[in-house]
Structure 1
Amino acid sequence: MASPARWNHVWVGSETGILKGVNLRRRQATNYVAASALRREEGVCAMCWGDPSESEILIGCLDRSVKLFSTEKGKFTESRQCLGGEGAFCGLAVHDNSFITCVESGLLKVWRDASSENVETQVGAGVCRMRQNPVHPQRVGTGGKENALKVWDLQRPEEPIFRAKNVRNDWLSLRVPVWERDLQFLPGSEKIVTCTGHHQVRLYDPSSPQRRPVLETTYGEYPLTALSLTPGADSVVVGSSRGEMAVIDLRQGRLVKCLKGFAGSVRSVQCHSTLPLVASCGLDRFLRVHNIEDKHLKHKVYLKSRLNCLLLTSRERWEDEEPEPAAAEANVKEEDELWDCMKAVATKTVPKRSADPRGQETQQGKRSKKQKRHSVGP
């Protein structure tokens, strides 16, 4: 029988190394790492699905290990040390039975079964994020602090196939600093959207002659830390270091709406692939799920730890789904067997207690005295 872990809707990784599965329908959160095994050196810093059916999760930890968690079995099945470079993982992806890692020092590496076949390249220091192109999985994008957006083809990793150019100097003729915090590829096109540590949202089009952004807008006054495309890919949801979230229209570059209820820096944001839902987590230890259309906060779960990253299931109609019939029948059968094993307990009728005789005598004495007091003597 499949593990109950497969029915979780959101998977969250924390700074203390805990992997949590959250069933939003039942409002239950389960830890899949024992409390006695927690170490801050194993804090989760990157996560991705291991296969299209979402039966496996790859988890990158601060100690440079990549662990494989099976949602079908509800436990960790493999672990591998991925040494090389310096800093934490800033991206994790899967391609052709191999997984791709990128660390802050800029070492991008493809890990295959045979270590001699591993592919690696240097993408520049100060990397903040590496993302995979979902349509062309052999391509990844990287960006960071003073490290402009680049797109790499892992089949030809010597040079990037696209290198963004910094925007023009500001009105004081000063250079604008580069700080790409997150990025994502737009499906159905070659466009890439990024958010920066200087509260900018930029849209790049590698198919156009220019390497500068084709659209740029700003939101708020604080660094933007995470982003995710809405299901229609015409808007992007961004989160900031101050706990602000907003929906930005990518066609006109305008603010559409703000999502409220946060109390700390947003670390990770992910929109559902088809439903108007967006999940977010951060330093205030809450997992939140908003409805993008009406801005309603549908779910809010306190998870006790500072949260770094999350994965939201792509299943549809998950709010109505029930456990498999076989599992439900097995539970009913076990419950029936439990009741059959119990012994019958005979019930005994307890007679009603009579009144206290002394109380009756006292009441009779009071009545007799009252009668004497009101009687008229001869």
Structure 2
Amino acid sequence: MTSARTRGPVRIVGAGLLGASIGLALQEKGVEVQLADASRAAVRLAADYGAGRPAADGDAPALVVVAVPPEAVAEIVARELEAFPDALVTDVASVKSGILAELTAAGADLARYVGSHPMAGRERGGAVSARADLFLGRPWVLAPHDGVAEAHLHAIEDLALDVGARPLRMDAARHDHGVALVSHVPQLVASLLAARLVDAPDAEVGLAGQGLRDTTRIAGSNPELWVQILGANAAAVAEILTAYRADLDRVIHALHDPERVGAPRTVAEALVAGNEGVARIPGKHGQDRRFATLLVTVPDEPGELGRLLTEIGEEGVNMEDLRLEHSPGAQVGFAEIAVLPEAAHRLAAALESRGWSLSEPGRNA
């Protein structure tokens, strides 16, 4: 066990996915974690999973992490600042400007508050979905404000590093616009696309492949939570959606008369812009990097995927990403393995020699 940078005890208010995951990661570092939640059952469950112990009267935390639904964050942060006058308080909500404004209006002790946001999550919430490695390699944004001491910012950066995240600083307004672009708008777009399936004939839905699964994966998220998140960041989300609507209107206009002069160009430019945008999405370790991919056919039998991953490791190749495709009823699935370009041909030859069937080796991701 490596020594922790974070000075405990750490009190976590909110024993859901993020709170419990932070608790699990800190417990692995040997940091004492105290769990609090409006639901005693949630605390018991998170404690059973090893995320910490239930908070008790007389606790004196050095750090408080507020991980509650967005609409309650400012109130809980203010309460924790008052209850623990010697503690530093942070929150992990996905919107920062509104919380800071509410705390300022309430006269809270902002000198001991640092807003932060780990860019991590899962489609399903609760302690049952918590993972100690949830934040591994993910950005953890700190939103500094006037009056907060540099030492307090370093303390939250230490927290981020202890759970495996990459701390970075960004002012609240820029953070909120950024998460609208990369998280909040994609959630709405995925949900609206998935909603088209509700009344679609079964025969048409049955044609679905990996493309639809990829673009609608996050549509399974909690609606109640997302209503709060989108409401808290409404202006930034609406701004981006308005621009998106303009792009969509141009493509729709072109498709209404695809033979019209300029229509093919309009569609092509939309697709090319998409290519350029995808190329900017950070890859492994937050770097803009293009990988080569291998498409491996995997028999639908117990242990076959595990065997594939083991043999990739035996070849000494680091797998940068993995995507799986398997249609219901099919006897095989497909594993799309992303590796560094210089390793692609060597790995393809090695896997084929081991009996695996590959398609399009070395294709750029």
Q: Structure 2-normalised TM-score?
A: 0.23
Q: Structure 1-normalised TM-score?
A: 0.22
